[in-house]
Structure 1
């Protein structure tokens, strides 16, 4: 009996250890190009080479796109005037109240996506930005084959999104945007219209940005001016990112969370494709609808094409070592005066499932709860309801924990009743052990007869606790991936639920509750030296857990402390009902 319980508690300790290894800190990669706006629409005149990196060659079999059939019809967009207003700026800036987007004028790439209200560090001014170059802190120098480049100021990786048109003969067609126009909408949003030209082609990009939204509707169009022969182009949208991630270290929690591509097709609503998978070969799949994304903790960048149309999804490692994930639509022929257009939605922001599901029913799956999603999703909704009524995420954790413990009360109460019975008959069990200390077979027979006579079970206290373990893990996964908890305050000294308790009050309080709960559990005296050592070692378990919880996010420790408190109350009530005095504990 004691061996089973000690093993179970040891299992919980091991799970807690691995949870420690998996919990990432509230850190985010910061772009190194801090470009300040000069005007409302146009920013920085730095050369494009300092902003992002070009591919080594224009056409590369590893960086090419597969076309999807052909489409002869064109959109009938108007041909722009021959003369386009010239602007020498290398970057255009687009804004709403939550996003600051920067587009490279030459390539048309989205090279910055700054989230105005989401800060890199709490109480600081620097905002999180997903796209752009970033410094890689690597002691052994710049990693080879991961899309990073050694510069004079350090090793630099890159991350950007792009859309437009691709030609089998010329590669990615640079739009060379030279002008931008802003049109205000009635809902407070804006339409940005970028125009450019390259040789005998003219390009237009319309971007719809609405208040409070991290999504952009992007419509690219291309046409010919003065060309004698039609040209075939392939519409595309893609995300390119270097493949570097810090090596796993004991306290570098972020390196243990998933970072990489995700695809959704008609065959698989949510399919991870790790960077390591692309080392072995590319990926291609044709599908109707769907989406693609690069996922990291808290944030996601995603392209969602027009649904109901066929697209080819593809991913590969290109020659520079970076990873390209893309989608293409049907190729189409354009002729003089007959441009064509292609529309997608770019989402770049926090992983908030309600916002993501508005763009696609399956996009909210990037909030990854693992194999216990069927438990985690109701827990997340429960916490959201708690926040709506209480206005504080810490109180929402308290609310969700109380509701869960109430629902599981009958199950846990059965376990504590069994534990109370086992404690009550502890002296008789000790007598049997002493009486048959030299005859283990006889002791086993007598113990089984004793259990049957007294109506107790050696597993009665373990199984109910074990059945609650999935709920514990599901709650953990919710707290792990909830961007809402990032920098969220609780009460008094806890000002950030995603960071550790600065005064270690919760870890110490939890250790005290665990120790008292452990004291109440029945422990049968044993002459076995191994069991005696294990029982002695278990006395230090609350201290070990407290040490780990000192660097755990306060939100998770708060949940665990509330659960420990309710556990002690349940044990006390069960013991009192069984006629056991708590003074003897």
Structure 2
């Protein structure tokens, strides 16, 4: 009876709903807890660890003055802007911690800022830079000890913040300067070489990211695992992803004029961007048998003649995957916002979303309007699909009659059905093809919604406080299920009664 079927369907739906909720709770319980920025102290090693693995140059015979021993507690300096909070170790001048004040780790008033770089006893994710070559200051067994004027630097309303670290190498004065700007996640790392000696100074600039395989946590409403690993531009590919497992097998090396190398994760990215006019050597590798990976670049040789000054510079980006800004920093760096092979559709869709967001001031309404506009644009195709379904529905009595007459002869039944389609000018695929044409656009929209950092912690209405996570009350999934059921009822029923019952269930 109908009421029995309805009760059975309701029970099945309830069971699936409970299983879905419990599975989500089980999955979330197994995820690693977010690392709170305020509870993780920066680890200060007494000497450069073996995993430092400073790149080597062809000629490294030059002598560098041995760094002065400095108390470990005095080695760290803190640098703050409106969007970055960095900790720099004066031994080597590496960025050993980076948090993003504009991006809280969780959606709560007391949430710490999102933690990008960190060096603890259990975790390493740092940005290193230095000088190698004939007169380089950096060795695998020895890093230079810079001297800073103070231990705290803050932007304090200025447009730029300069953080100079000084080091004396015989008659050569070396200043490693970090330049930060208001509202920018890009840090310029500049080496000023002042050669007051009698011999030429020679060196190469290197920059590299060191990271282990720890998995950061981030909310994802779309139930998928985002890419975590290395990426860079190469002469053959504008955006090449290299997984940790690939580096376990063999290192990757390439040379390129300009270019960049990045560590990519969901919503955020860190990247070294060397001088775009120079030819740089890129190398990505696993450090020995450890769980630590290094990806970086080595620039060309620079020579500073006696009595002259020189400058070596590279950019370091650490922050959100901001499509507009990444594209301005370096060619193809915006491809780290991984829209997949449908990026050529996804980018215009995101531009449309951004335009509508500027009008409405709300990403949720922007998504709804874009979806409505896409449905209107595809309405002719959808209408053709529905008309084809309607014609197929009208043919159901005749098809049922044919089945009763030729049910035992499958070949004859197929011939009669095809003749019916031809006589009535009905294409059995007419209801599917228009839908298939729309699929790439909506798949691209899916990637836009899942990859856009702008949706992270973005509210919509009422109980929807974060568009990047699932609906906590499961109202939207239920509404989506109802709409799918309504659409399914518009489709023609299969000629086989058993199949029709299965499809109805």
SS in 2 for 1:324: strand
> In the TM superposition, what is the alpha-carbon distance from 1:454 to its structure 2 partner?
1.6
Aligned counterpart in structure 1 of residue 75 of structure 2, from 90, 100, 106: 90
> In the TM superposition, what is the alpha-carbon distance from 1:266 to its structure 2 partner?
3.9
> In the TM superposition, what is the alpha-carbon distance from 1:334 to its structure 2 partner?
5.9
Is 1:178–2:147 an aligned residue pair? yes
CA distance in 2, matches of 1:253, 1:107: 41
Aligned counterpart in structure 2 of residue 273 of structure 1, from 234, 239, 242: 242
Q: Structure 1 residues 471, 435: CA separation in 2 closer, same or farther (over 3 Å shift)?
A: same
The CA deviation string for residues 331-362 of structure 1, in whole angstroms up to 9 with x for no partner, is 34568765643111111000011011111131
User: Any conservation in 1 of the 2:189–2:314 contact (CA below 8 Å)?
Assistant: yes
Partner of 2:164: 193
TM-score, normalization: structure 1?
0.71
Aligned counterpart in structure 1 of residue 49 of structure 2, from 34, 44, 55: 55
Partner of 1:513: 483
Any gaps of 5 or more consecutive residues in structure 2? Answer: 1-19, 61-67
> In the TM superposition, what is the alpha-carbon distance from 1:382 to its structure 2 partner?
1.2
User: Any conservation in 2 of the 1:303–1:347 contact (CA below 8 Å)?
Assistant: yes
Partner of 1:299: 268
CA distance in 2, matches of 1:203, 1:103: 17
Aligned counterpart in structure 2 of residue 524 of structure 1, from 486, 494, 498: 494
The CA deviation string for residues 274-309 of structure 1, in whole angstroms up to 9 with x for no partner, is 222212222221211111111111000011111111
> In the TM superposition, what is the alpha-carbon distance from 1:512 to its structure 2 partner?
1.2
The CA deviation string for residues 182-232 of structure 1, in whole angstroms up to 9 with x for no partner, is 69799622222222447886531222211111111110235678x787664
> In the TM superposition, what is the alpha-carbon distance from 1:448 to its structure 2 partner?
1.2
Aligned counterpart in structure 2 of residue 331 of structure 1, from 287, 301, 307: 301
Partner of 1:416: 386
CA distance in 2, matches of 1:282, 1:351: 26
Q: Which has the higher contact order (CA 8 A, sep 6+)?
A: 1
User: Any conservation in 2 of the 1:99–1:113 contact (CA below 8 Å)?
Assistant: yes
The CA deviation string for residues 2-55 of structure 1, in whole angstroms up to 9 with x for no partner, is xxxxxxxxxxxxxxx9xx99xx99x9985577389xxxxxxx9x87229xx943
**Structure 1 stretch 232-241 or stretch 194-203: which is displaced more?**
194-203
Partner of 1:474: 444
CA distance in 2, matches of 1:447, 1:236: 71
Q: Structure 1 residues 306, 246: CA separation in 2 closer, same or farther (over 3 Å shift)?
A: closer
SS in 2 for 1:106: coil
The CA deviation string for residues 509-563 of structure 1, in whole angstroms up to 9 with x for no partner, is 1111111211221103316xxxx2x5444445xxxxxxxxxxxxxxxxxxxxxxx
Aligned counterpart in structure 2 of residue 440 of structure 1, from 397, 402, 410: 410
Partner of 1:163: 129
CA distance in 2, matches of 1:526, 1:422: 14
Is 1:120–2:116 an aligned residue pair? no
CA distance in 2, matches of 1:399, 1:68: 58
Aligned counterpart in structure 2 of residue 213 of structure 1, from 162, 165, 184: 184
User: Any conservation in 2 of the 1:86–1:179 contact (CA below 8 Å)?
Assistant: no
Aligned counterpart in structure 1 of residue 227 of structure 2, from 252, 258, 266: 258
TM-score, normalization: structure 2?
0.82
CA distance in 1, matches of 2:450, 2:107: 18
**Structure 1 stretch 386-395 or stretch 446-455: which is displaced more?**
446-455
CA distance in 2, matches of 1:209, 1:299: 19
User: Any conservation in 2 of the 1:183–1:191 contact (CA below 8 Å)?
Assistant: no
CA distance in 2, matches of 1:259, 1:171: 29
Aligned counterpart in structure 2 of residue 464 of structure 1, from 412, 431, 434: 434
CA distance in 2, matches of 1:306, 1:232: 18
SS in 2 for 1:132: strand
CA distance in 2, matches of 1:128, 1:481: 17
The CA deviation string for residues 556-585 of structure 1, in whole angstroms up to 9 with x for no partner, is xxxxxxxxxxxxxxxxxxxxxxxxxxxxxx
Partner of 2:352: 382
Number of positions where the alignment pairs a residue of Structure 1 with one of Structure 2: 464
Is 1:455–2:425 an aligned residue pair? yes
User: Any conservation in 1 of the 2:360–2:366 contact (CA below 8 Å)?
Assistant: yes
Q: Structure 1 residues 28, 126: CA separation in 2 closer, same or farther (over 3 Å shift)?
A: farther
Any gaps of 5 or more consecutive residues in structure 1? Answer: 1-16, 37-43, 71-82, 135-150, 541-585
Is 1:395–2:395 an aligned residue pair? no
What is the RMSD computed on CA atoms of the aligned residues?
3.6
